[in-house]
């Protein structure tokens, strides 16, 4: 248990569905991140939020829409996804100003688009 | 653009053997380098973090080194055990806006056999 909780753990959705992934951290961190892990590829940074403001959008298609309502919660809203979007989606948090800058990851949501 | 490479991609060793995993990166302007462990279908567990000003970090049977000027890090695992079987990921941390971003390698898949 790293202090970062993701729900659901598994999700199967059709290409016309709308769903949301949720991430919650109670570590007092003020930065949260979404990463994507596809088969045979390195983890890719998708979005960075610092103090609830998006500071980086790593060329992610608009069918992925992040939301950070407060410093403890991060969502990833999904709509009209493609089969190639099937992957493990990982949420992380960190305290950027801290000297260590450790990143803590959740257990991920395994997404399958059918 | 930062690129991280890990060698070897896969490694199989008998129990008790000492082993070294390698990581190289192209841009030396980093805050730190982290080594993570990932079990199949799971999230990431942080193993060691080396600050850019440090040369080495140790935790139990694990020792990580960093040579920032040459863009290299190694993870040394002593007296390997079957429970060490997992994928080991190296990631370098750089700043982005008010947050940090991690750039990952593709990992080394380790199998320790009885």
What confidence tens digit (pLDDT) does each residue in A42-54 have?
899 999 998 878 8
Residues of chain B whose beta carbon is less than 8 angstroms from a beta carbon of chain A are 4, 31-32, 34, 36, 41-46, 49, 51, 89, 91, 93, 95-107
Q: What is the largest CA-CA distance in chain B?
A: 47
Per-residue pLDDT at A82 exceeds 90: yes
In percent, the amount of chain A with pLDDT more than 90 equals 72
**pLDDT-based confidence at A1, cuts 50/70/90?**
low
Q: Are B90 and B33 in contact (CB under 8 A)?
A: yes
Q: Which residue stretches of chain B have pLDDT < 50?
A: none
**Burial (Cβ within 10 Å: 0-12, 13-18, ≥19) of residue A21:** buried
Beta bridge partners of B13: B112
Q: Is A37 helix (H, G, I), strand (E, B) or coil?
A: strand
State the Cα–Cα distance between residues B113 and B39, nearest whole angstrom.
16
Distance from CA of A113 to the nearest CA of B (A): 17
Q: Do A48 and B46 touch (CB under 8 A)?
A: no
The whole-number pLDDT of residue A88 equals 96
Helical spans, DSSP H, in B26-73: none
Contacts of B49 in chain A (CB under 8 A): 100-102
What is the arithmetic mean of pLDDT over A15-26?
95
Per-residue pLDDT at A33 exceeds 70: yes
Contacts of B43 in chain A (CB under 8 A): 2, 4, 6, 90, 105-108
From A23-37, A74-88, B86-100, the region with the lowest mean pLDDT? B86-100
A2 touches chain B (CB under 8 A): yes
Per-residue pLDDT at A39 exceeds 90: no
């Amino acid at each position: 248990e790293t202090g970062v909780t993701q729900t659901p753990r598994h999700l199967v959705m059709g290409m016309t569905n709308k769903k949301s992934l949720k991430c919650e951290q109670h570590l007092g961190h003020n930065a949260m991140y979404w990463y994507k892990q596809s088969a045979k590829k390195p983890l890719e940074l998708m979005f960075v939020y610092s103090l609830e403001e998006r500071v980086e959008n790593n060329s992610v298609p608009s069918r992925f829409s992040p939301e950070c309502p407060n410093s403890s919660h991060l969502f990833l809203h999904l709509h009209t996804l493609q089969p190639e979007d099937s992957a493990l989606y990982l949420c992380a948090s960190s305290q950027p100003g801290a000297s260590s800058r450790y990143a803590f990851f959740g257990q991920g949501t395994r997404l399958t688009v059918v | 653009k930062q690129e991280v490479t890990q060698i070897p991609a896969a490694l199989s060793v008998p129990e008790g053997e000492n082993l070294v995993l390698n990581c190289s990166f192209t841009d030396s302007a980093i805050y730190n380098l982290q080594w993570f462990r990932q079990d199949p279908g799971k999230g990431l567990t942080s193993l060691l973090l080396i600050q850019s000003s440090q040369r080495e970090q140790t935790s139990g049977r694990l020792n990580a080194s960093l040579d920032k000027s040459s863009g290299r890090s190694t993870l040394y695992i002593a007296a390997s055990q079957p429970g060490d079987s997992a994928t080991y990921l190296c990631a370098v941390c750089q700043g982005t806006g008010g947050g940090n971003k991690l750039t990952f390698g593709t990992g080394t898949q380790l199998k320790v056999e009885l």
